[in-house]
Structure 1
Amino acid sequence: MRTFRVGGAVRDALLGLPVNDTDWVVVGATPEEMIQAGYLPVGKDFPVFLHPDTREEHALARTERKTGRGYRGFSFHTSAEVTLEEDLARRDLTINAIAQADDGSLIDPFGGQQDLRRKVLRHVTESFREDPVRILRVARFGARFHDFALAPETLDLMRAMVAEGEADHLVPERVWQELARGLMEPRPARMLEILQACGALARIVPEVAASEAILRVVDRAASVDAPLPVRFACLTAGLEAAQVKQLCERLRVPNECRELAEVVARERAAIDSTPPADAEAMVRLLERCDAFRKPQRFEDVLLACECIARSASGERPYPQRPQLSAALRAARSVDTSVIAARARDEGLAGDAIGQRIQQARVQVVRDAQTSRASAA
C-alpha cells in the first residue's frame, strides 16, 4: 500500500501558492485493508476514507467507465491492481494530474509540470469528454489562473461536448457550485469568456451574455474583494427582476444571493437616481429594500450598484453609496418602540403608527443632511 499526494495541493506547491487542502490517493489497498488500518469510510460513490489522525481524505486509486449522460453517468472500479498512472489518467487537466510520493519525488506521466511552466490549461486524455462538469472546472481554473492559455485542442473538445448535448445534462446544484466558485476567483470574467467560447454559457445560463459590460463589472467586483452575493448581483446586472428570479429558481441559487440580486435588479435605477437632498425619497427607498431589518444586505446592495455604475462610467465617483449609507445610519437611530408607544397612547394603530415612524426617520435623515451641509 502506497500513498501519494495528488491534484491541487501538488500543483499549488509547484506554483509557490498556499496549499489549503490536500488530496491523497492510495494505491495497492482494498477497502477492508483501509478499515483495518484505522481509516474511516465516508465515500458514497467510490471508496474514500478519513485518515485516523489527520482526518484528511484518502481515496483508493480508481478507474471509471461512462455508462450514461451527465456527470453522474459513470461506474467506478477500484482494486489493489489499479495503478497510480491509471488513476491520474482520469483527471481533468494535466496540471492537476501530478502526484507526489512520500520522498518528494513527482510522478507526472502527462506533462503537467511542462504545462505549468508554459502556463497552459490542457486536458489529460480523451476521457475528459465523458464528464461535462469538466467544462465548468476548466472555465473556473481559467478565472483563477487567468494568465494561463487554454489549449486549442481542449477548447475544441469542450465545444464538441456542448454540441453533443453533454452540457444539457448538468444538474443545477453542480452548475451553481462551479459558477459560484468561479465568481470568487480573481478574474471571473475569464470564466465567462471560456464558457461563451465553447458554447456552454448559453446552455447553462442563457439569461447572461459575456458582454463587455458584464465582463467589466464582475471583474470590478472581484477587484474590491466583494462577497459572493455582490458578485452574483453584478453577474445579473442588466436583467429584469423577473429574469433574475427565473435564473435563481432554475439553478437553485441560495437565498442570500438570490435576494440580493433581486433587490439590485428592482431598485438599482432608484438607487442611482435618488436625489441626495430628498430625505423622504431616501427613507422610502430604505423601506423598499428592507434596509432596517437587513442593514448589511443593503450595504451589499450599494456595493453592487457602485460596481455596476463605476465599471460603466470609467471609474467616476459614486456618491450614492456614502449618501444612502449615512441615511440608513441616521434613520436606524430612531427608537421605533418609543414612537409606537406614544402613538398608541394617542389612540393610533396599524398604518398610522407606521406613518409616525416614517416621519420620524425622514426628519432624522433631513437633520443629518443639514448638519453635514453646515459642517462642509
Structure 2
Amino acid sequence: MKIPSSIWTLLIGILLTLVSLWYGQNHGLLPTAASDEASLVDGLFNTMMIVSTGIFLLVEGILIYSAIRYRRRAGDNADGPPVHGNVPLEILWTAIPAVIVIGISVYSFDVYNEMGGFNPHAVHEAPMTPQAMRMPGAAIAATLSDTPPSTGSDRNQERADEAMQDPATAAVRNADQIPQLREAPGTGLVSPTIGPTPDKEGKPPAFVVNVTGLQYAWIFTYPETGVTSGELHVPIGREVQLNMTANDVIHAFWVPEFRLKQDVIPGRQSEIRFTPSKEGDYALICAELCGPYHGAMRTQVVVQKPQELEQWIQEQLVASTEELKQAVAMNPTDLSPNEFLTPYTSQMGIHSEMLHQLHK
C-alpha cells in the first residue's frame, strides 16, 4: 500500500519537531548558569536553537533529497524543464522567516526588560529649550559635542561624583583627566545600564562595588570599606550593583556564567545589576578589543557566602594595615615606585602594568 505524500509530510514534520525540541534543550553549548538572570538568557538561547535546528534539518534534508531524487541518470542528456517560479511558495518562504524573526525580537525584548535593561524611569531626560527644538538636527548636534544640550541635571556626572566620594575609588580613577560626558537621552548617547529587575524596582542593591577598567586590568573598590582588589568578590543570593567606568579606552565586563556583558566606557558611568546564584570562581573577561594585550585582561569573580565575604573584607583590611606598617619601617629612597609597591600589590592581584597606568 502506497502511503500518501501528506502522511509522509506529517510524519517528517513530527520527527523534525521532536528532534529540534530535544536538541534545543540538550545542546550543552552554554557554561554553568551562575546567576538568577542566566535562566532568562538560556531560555531565549534554547528557543533560538530549537528554531535553528528545525530550519537546518528541513533545508538540508530537502537539498539532500533533491540531489538524490533528481540526479542526472546515465544516458540522460536532455535539458531540464524550464521553471519560472512559484509565487505561493515564494510568499511562504518569505513570510515564515519574517514571523520567526519578529517573534524572536519580541522575546528578546521581553528578556531584556525582565533583566532590568529597559528601565525608562532610570533616565532623567532634560528638556531642550524652545529655540533648540526649532533648530534642525539640534538633538543630534548636542549628542556629538561636549556642549550641554540643556541646563538640566546630568545623571552621568551625578553618578561619577557619587562614586568618587569613596576615597579608594577616587585613588584609582582618572576623573580629572577624563571629563564626564553629558547624558543625551533619545537620539543620543547614554551610559549603558542594566538596572534592577521589575520585582526589585525601587529597592537598593544589597552589595555595591565600583569597577575601574584600564589597560590591562580590572580594579575593584568596595565603598565604605577602603578595600581595593584585583578580584571581584560578591555574596551569593544577594543583588549586586557594579558601577563601572574606564580610565583609558573602551573595555567590556563579561562573565559567561552570569550571561551578562556590559561596556565600560571612558567618560561614562555604566551600571549593571545581577544576583549570583551559585558559589565558585568564575572568569571575568574583557570582551572589547582594548589594545595589544587585550587577551590578558582577565581576572576572577568569587561568589561566596555573605559571612565568608565579610571575613575576606576583614582580612584585606588587616593585610593593608600590616603592609602599611612595613612600608613605614622601610627606606624606599633607593627604589622606584613600581619596585617599592610590587611586593604589596602582587598579593592583591594588581600587576606592574596597572601600576604604570595609575602612575601616568
Question: How does the TM-score come out when normalised to structure 1?
Answer: 0.24
Using CA pairs under 8 Å that are at least 6 residues apart, name the structure with larger relative contact order, 1 or 2.
2
Higher helix share: 1
Structure with larger Rg: 2
Question: How does the TM-score come out when normalised to structure 2?
Answer: 0.25
Higher strand share: 2
